[in-house]
A and B are shown apart, each in its own frame.
Chain A
Amino acid sequence: AQRVTQPEKLLSVFKGAPVELKCNYSYSGSPELFWYVQYSRQRLQLLLRHISRESIKGFTADLNKGETSFHLKKPFAQEEDSAMYYCALDNYGQNFVFGPGTRLSVLP
C-alpha cells in the first residue's frame, strides 16, 4: 500500500542551524512528491513539489528513489520556519497520501 512516513514528530533546532525533515515513502511506480507547510492555525500551503526542483524560502528537497526518500532541507533555519510540515505522495493521480507530519520548532 502507498504510505508516507515522517519519523520525527517534533524537531527542535536553534536559529541559524541546518535543518532536515525526513520523509520516506512506499509506492509502486514513479512517485510524485510534495511538501506542505502549516503555520499555526492556518491552512496548509504548498511548499515544494519534487518535479520542479525549486527552492522556496530556502528549502530544498531531493527525491532519492534508491532510498525512497524525499527529505526537506534548509541550511540556516529561521524562527519564522517554525510550523508543521507534511510530506505528501500523489496516489496514482487520485488523491494524496500524507505523512503524520513533523513539527519544527526553531529556537532563538
Chain B
Amino acid sequence: NAGVTQTPKFRVLKTGQSMTLLCAQDMNHEYMYWYRQDPGMGLRLIHYSVGEGTTAKGEVPDGYNVSRLKKQNFLLGLESAAPSQTSVYFCASRPGTGEFYGYTFGSGTRLTVV
C-alpha cells in the first residue's frame, strides 16, 4: 500500500517553462488536494477536488491548473513557471469529511524556478 505518491520529487525549471506534477493515491479516497509550502507561511491551498471530474480553487490558484480525470490521480500544471512558484508542493487525500478523517500526505515535490 503506497498511500500518496508524488512525482517528480525534485525539479528545476526555467522561467516560462511548463510542467505537470502528478499525485497518485491507492486508497480510494474521494478528496484530493494540492498545497504549497513556503517558509513562514505554512501550507496554502492551491486547488482541490471532492471527486472524480471535479476541481475547485483554493487560496492561491493563480498560475496553476488541475485535472482529476481518474479518481486516483490529481494533476497540477504550471503553464508558464515564474520564480514566485519556487516552493515545495504537497499533495494530500482523505476518504471523506468528518472529524475522523485527516489528510494523508505525499512526500512533496521541491520545485525551483530560475
Q: How far is the CB of A89 from chain B (nearest CB, A)?
A: 11
A-side contacts of B106, CB under 8 Å:
43
Q: Does A51 contact B (CB under 8 A)?
A: yes
Q: Count of chain B residues with Cβ under 8 Å from any Cβ of A?
A: 26
Min Cβ gap A67→B in Å is: 20
**Smallest CB separation, A40 vs chain B (Å):** 12
Asked if A44 CB lies within 8 Å of chain B CBs, one says: yes
User: Are A86 and B43 in contact (CB-based, < 8 A)?
Assistant: yes
B99 touches A32 (CB 8 A): yes
State the Cβ distance, B106 to closest chain A Cβ, in Å.
6
Contacts of B42 in A (CB 8 A): 6, 86, 98-101
Residues of A within 8 A of B97 (CB): 90, 93-94
| 1/0 contact string of A21-37 vs chain B (CB within 8 Å) | 00000000000101010
Once bound together, how far apart are the Cα atoms of A17 and B105, in whole Å? 30
In the complex, the answer to whether B100 meets A100 with C-beta atoms within 8 Å is: no
Smallest Cβ-Cβ distance to A31: which chain B residue: B99
Q: Is B41 an interface residue (CB 8 A)?
A: yes
Give the residues in chain B near A96, CB-CB below 8 Å.
Answer: 33, 45, 103
With both chains docked as a complex, state the minimum distance between the C-beta of A27 and any C-beta of chain B, in angstroms: 13
Interface string of B65-106 (1 = CB under 8 A from A): 000000000000000000000000010100001111011111
From known contacts A94-B48, A98-B42, A100-B41, infer whether A32 and B105 are also in contact, taking CB-CB under 8 Å. no
Q: Which of B44, B45, B107 contacts A42 (CB 8 A)?
A: B107
Q: Which residues of B contact A (CB under 8 A)?
A: 31, 33, 35, 40-45, 48, 50, 56, 58, 90, 92, 97-100, 102-108
The interface of chain A, by Cβ under 8 A from chain B, is 6, 9, 32, 34, 36, 42-46, 49-52, 86, 88, 90, 93-101
A-B contacts, 13 listed (Cβ < 8 Å): A6-B42, A9-B40, A32-B99, A43-B105, A46-B103, A49-B99, A49-B100, A51-B100, A95-B33, A96-B103, A98-B35, A100-B41, A101-B42
